[in-house]
Amino acid sequence: MLQKLRDILSSHYAPMLQKDPAVLNKLLESPKQSGHGHLAMPVFAWAKEMRKAPPVLAQEFATRFSADKPQGLESVTAVSGFVNFTFSDRFIQDMLSADILGSRGQVGFSKVGAGRKMVIDFSSPNVAKPMHIGHLRASVIGQAIVNLAKTQGYQVIGLNHLGDWGVQFGKLAWAYMKWGSEYDFSSKPFESLYNIYVRFHDEAEKNPELEAEGSKVFKRLEDGDPQIRELWQKFVDISLADYQRIWTQLGIKHELVRGESFYNDRMRPVEKMLEEKGLLEESDGAMVVRLDDENMPPCLIRKSDGASLYATRDLASALYRMQELHADLNLYVVGVDQTLHFRQVFAVLKKMGYPWVEKCHHIAFGMYRFKDARISTRKGNAIFLEDVLAQAVELVREVIKKKNPDLPNAEQVARQVGFGAVIFNDLVNDRVKNVDFDWDRALDFEGDSGPYVQYCGVRCLSLMRKFGKPVPTKFATDLNTPEERELFRILLAYQDTLRNSFDNFKPHMLAGYLLDVCHRYGAFYTRCRILGEPSEVESSRMTLVQMVHAVLQEGLGILGIELPEAM
Ligand code: ARG
């Protein structure tokens, strides 16, 4: 792929230029315009140093480079301030087919992260509450970043920072003791749990004294009362079992559950450290760290009633991840609405003198906006993740019934395409932006959607079936129509795309890339006949088709989307 081409050029030309090959390597970029070759080297900085006009210097370089080309390099030309390098079709084809078809499902993987550990906090719901649509983003963006990190060779610890502590557990326990027997906890445990939670809040509105009852029971929980503790454990277990069902469907996997309760006995030590460092101050009976110098409101460490806070737990959790799990990178995939929270936590860590705070990143994402009446809401305005997934599958089922009623495994395909639509629709947006949710767009088989990418992959597969014999892994002839060259150019960029997508923690770069591949595949498919061509051309085009399929399948897999066999 491109990196190999960079290595070839930089190692070959570094001695001639008396430069470090690594420096040269970094200079080589992929030109935007296809007529400008496979790689381009800007000479502006050099030209300035040497007091020459950039086009003149580029021409000088091009002449010198042309006189001594490494194997595979076809031409070197100068275009304004750039030197453009074009490799031969044959060289590109052979390298790419070996890279893509010879890599056993790890196309474009690299080892830049080898020996490094990434801890990532994602899809961390709150016990007793069904995951809502915001958790969809926290789940699929998180899992995509996990998968991208693995393509770079990182060791990954996916962590569930489960919301499993706080006064609401006193309320839940109180409600359970009072009304639990009225609900069917044996066959519908999670629904029952959520229902008593909602009931408590409804009743507490009429009768505010219930709040105090809840607080009292929470105090018992904090003091270690075994009966309440047992109830708490039951609520956690019921909730985790329900989340697990959804995670399994979406391919979400955590390595560790480290809920908020995990930090209970790590809070005092944090407070003590803050005190020793002279950072803790009293304010209206509460304990805070002032952040005036950072233009932020103070970070609340302990409330006046002694209860510790979300922020204190996140201070403890950062210490745990960095000092005990030894993270080289510590990510929090959480909505933009918590931006201030994370800025405060990171600012306090910095004041505490931890240089590693630079390795902690809030991977913020925007909110969903719904215009679509077909999104059902069960209660209030919470939109439950599970309902959205079920609706997607149902809509796809209808399409299949109408368009392809004899499709084998229709139910499985409906799930793959339904989930694929929802996940892709989320990931194709730059994560920091809000997403306008619209079923027609998410499910548009011809638009820039998940099903469109899946359909492109399925078309490759069906061609491979029609071809009727094993597709050769090597090219029998050169493919050099403009559409074919464009397709090779985009395939060349796959590895760079994975790398950039990870470096920026932005899965939309990969999603957008896959759309590009499909667009170019479409142009190729329209312009270049495949089956029925003379055998060398036919088989070579089939090799290209198989390469496109391999990249789409792997790329979708990294986004957490399956490619069906047929659809
Ligand atoms: N439980 C929180 C929520 O559902 C997300 C937790 C994010 N992680 C963290 N370390 N604060 O909004």
216, 490, 491, 492, 541 from 528: Cα distances, Å: 74, 17, 18, 20, 9
Burial class (CB in 10 A: 0-12, 13-18, 19+), 234: middle
79 vs 56: CA distance, rounded Å: 10
Binding pocket residue ranges, ligand 1, CB within 6 Å: 121, 124-126, 161, 163, 314, 317, 332, 334
Q: Residue 78 above 80 pLDDT? A: yes
Write down the pLDDT at residue 25: 95
| Ligand 1 atom 3, closest CA | 125
| Ligand 1 atom 4, closest CA | 125
Angle at the Cα of 347 from the Cα atoms of 344 and 351, rounded to 5 degrees: 135
Write down the pLDDT at residue 303: 84
263 vs 324: CA distance, rounded Å: 13
300 vs 292: CA distance, rounded Å: 13
Per-residue pLDDT tens for 54-70? 999 999 999 999 999 99
Write down the pLDDT at residue 372: 57
Per-residue pLDDT tens for 459-476? 999 999 999 999 999 999
pTM value? 0.94
Q: Which helix (H) or strand (E) holds 439?
A: helix 439-442
Per-residue pLDDT tens for 519-563? 999 999 999 999 999 999 999 999 999 999 999 999 999 999 999
95 vs 77: CA distance, rounded Å: 22
Per-residue pLDDT tens for 79-111? 999 999 999 999 999 999 999 999 878 999 999
Write down the pLDDT at residue 337: 92
CB 139 within 8 A of CB 253: no
Q: Residue 20 above 60 pLDDT? A: yes
Average pLDDT, the chain: 94
Write down the pLDDT at residue 376: 47
Give the CATH class of 2-87. alpha beta
DSSP assignment of 57-89 equals HHHHHHHHHHTSPPTTEEEEEEETTEEEEEE-H
531 vs 104: CA distance, rounded Å: 26
Closest ligand 1 atom to Cα of 135? 4
Work out the average pLDDT over 173-197. 96
- Give distance in angstroms: CA of 333 to centre of ligand 1: 8
CA 397 to chain CA mean position, Å: 27
Percent above pLDDT 70 for the chain: 97
Work out the average pLDDT over 287-315. 89
23, 36, 169, 179, 551 from 40: Cα distances, Å: 14, 7, 60, 71, 24
Q: Residue 379 above 80 pLDDT? A: no
545 vs 510: CA distance, rounded Å: 20
Per-residue pLDDT tens for 224-281? 999 999 999 999 999 999 999 999 999 999 999 999 999 999 999 999 999 999 999 9
Write down the pLDDT at residue 437: 83
Question: Any idea where the domains of the chain sit in the sequence?
Answer: 2-87, 168-250
- Give distance in angstroms: CA of 124 to centre of ligand 1: 5
Q: Residue 307 above 80 pLDDT? A: no
- Give distance in angstroms: CA of 249 to centre of ligand 1: 21
Work out the average pLDDT over 208-212. 93
Write down the pLDDT at residue 369: 81
Q: Which helix (H) or strand (E) holds 35?
A: none
Per-residue pLDDT tens for 390-414? 999 999 999 999 999 999 999 999 9
Where is pLDDT greater, at 509 or 376? 509
| Ligand 1 atom 12, closest CA | 125
Write down the pLDDT at residue 433: 94
Write down the pLDDT at residue 378: 46
Q: Residue 34 above 90 pLDDT? A: no
From 161, 236, 319, 384, give the residue whose CB has the most ligand 1 atoms within 8 Å, as the site to mutate: 161
Closest ligand 1 atom to Cα of 341? 11
Q: Residue 377 above 60 pLDDT? A: no
105 vs 103: CA distance, rounded Å: 6
Per-residue pLDDT tens for 105-142? 899 999 999 999 999 999 999 999 999 888 999 999 99
pLDDT level of residue 368 (50, 70, 90 thresholds)? confident
Q: Residue 308 above 80 pLDDT? A: no
Closest ligand 1 atom to Cα of 335? 12
25, 42, 109, 293, 469 from 99: Cα distances, Å: 20, 27, 10, 52, 22
215 vs 217: CA distance, rounded Å: 5
- Give distance in angstroms: CA of 256 to centre of ligand 1: 15
Percent above pLDDT 90 for the chain: 89
